[in-house]
């Protein structure tokens, strides 16, 4: 999508290339943009891939068995019959492909909120919610990252929505639907479904009082692409709440969601640089917590810091 400021980043053990090949073969409007190998990281030589699914940009790496993908952050796939006469069939076709080796977390069926909906964890561990929308309300992108607040985070979805909207410019709270009192184990008044816009991108959030064995972790992080050091400093100060999690541009916010505060200049360096330039930039950023663009640019040019 145009003006995508925040890019979901998927951490795989060793199968990022296989997973990206799979996704770009089954999703419409999909393609691999850039594949780069980052050498001599703590996880060894690491492939980093930039790709698009339904015109929505993602990143992925294979960086070892340190984090496990789970449903705490999933991706809603919106199929709108108002703009696509084949939406129903396209949804079912993609569902069947994602179910090959996958697991249905909620079976494809009719629900009170949609005539066709299903939630699947695919064979690589990524979770997708496929929904036939009614086309009402503000226009959304085809893909909406969805956060689930569970465990110690249960009941904090509304707080998180308001927190993120307060940080990102040109943002707004969208729909907020609360649990009624007759839906145990869910707590009355907590968020059954909420959405919010950060810049031009929509996200969703919900609380769940079910007994889940997962929570937010680094397997799915959100990359904020920054045009200059001032933006990096701003988002770092606003979002970082766990000092021990700060490393190589990564941070955790007060809810445990992982973010990467990432300069667009570095993306260009890693995509366009020679092997020697990429290795120098890698050596420089592995020493950093918050990225320093001037130091990265010096490393790219081969200048002593």
**Is the bond preceding 159 in cis, omega lying within 30 degrees of 0?**
no
Say what the pLDDT of residue 77 is: 97
CB of 157 closer than 8 Å to CB of 204? no
Q: How far apart are CA 125 and CA 68, in angstroms?
A: 8
Q: What are the tokens at 145? A: 């990252």
Say what the pLDDT of residue 138 is: 64
DSSP class of 211:
-
Which helix (H) or strand (E) segment holds residue 283: the answer is helix 275-285
> What's the start-to-end Cα distance of the chain, in Å?
37
User: Residue 226 to residues 115, 231, 261: CA-CA distances in angstroms?
Assistant: 39, 6, 7
Q: How far apart are CA 37 and CA 61, in angstroms?
A: 9
- Rounded average pLDDT per 10-residue block, the chain, 305 residues: 92 97 97 90 86 97 95 96 92 98 98 95 98 77 95 97 97 95 92 96 96 96 97 98 96 98 92 91 93 95 79
Q: How far apart are CA 96 and CA 118, in angstroms?
A: 11
**How many beta carbons lie within 10 A of that of residue 134, not counting itself?**
12
Q: How far apart are CA 165 and CA 264, in angstroms?
A: 22
pTM for this entry: 0.95
The dihedral of CA 211, 213, 217, 223: what is its sign? negative
Q: Which of 212, 217, 214, 206 is nearest to 242 (CA)?
A: 217
Q: How far apart are CA 157 and CA 146, in angstroms?
A: 11
Say what the pLDDT of residue 267 is: 86
């Amino acid at each position: 999508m145009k003006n995508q400021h925040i890019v979901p980043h998927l951490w795989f053990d060793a199968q990022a290339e296989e997973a990206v090949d799979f996704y770009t073969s089954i999703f419409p409007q999909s393609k691999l943009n850039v594949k780069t190998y980052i050498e001599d990281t703590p996880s060894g030589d690491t492939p980093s891939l930039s790709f698009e699914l339904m015109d929505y940009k993602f990143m992925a790496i294979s960086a070892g068995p340190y984090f496990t993908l789970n449903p705490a952050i999933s991706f809603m796939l919106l199929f709108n019959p108002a703009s696509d006469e084949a939406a129903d069939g396209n949804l079912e076709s993609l569902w069947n492909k994602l179910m090959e080796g996958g697991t249905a977390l909620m079976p494809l069926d009719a629900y009170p909120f949609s005539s066709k909906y299903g939630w699947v964890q695919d064979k690589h561990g990524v979770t997708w919610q496929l929904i036939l929308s009614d086309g009402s309300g503000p226009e959304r992108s085809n893909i909406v990252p969805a956060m689930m607040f569970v465990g110690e985070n249960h009941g904090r979805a509304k707080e998180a929505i308001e927190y993120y909207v307060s940080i990102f410019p040109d943002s707004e709270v969208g729909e907020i639907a609360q649990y009624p009192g007759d839906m145990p184990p869910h707590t009355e008044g907590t968020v059954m479904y909420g959405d919010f816009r950060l810049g031009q991108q929509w996200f969703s959030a919900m609380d769940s009082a079910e007994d889940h064995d997962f929570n937010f972790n680094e397997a799915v992080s959100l990359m904020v692409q920054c045009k200059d050091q001032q933006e990096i400093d701003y988002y770092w100060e606003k979002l970082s709440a766990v000092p021990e999690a700060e490393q190589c541009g990564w941070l955790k916010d007060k809810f445990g969601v992982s973010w990467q505060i990432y300069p667009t200049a570095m993306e260009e360096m890693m995509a366009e640089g020679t092997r020697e330039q990429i290795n120098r930039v890698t050596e420089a950023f592995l020493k950093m917590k918050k990225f320093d663009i001037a130091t990265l640019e010096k490393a790219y040019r081969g200048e002593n810091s």
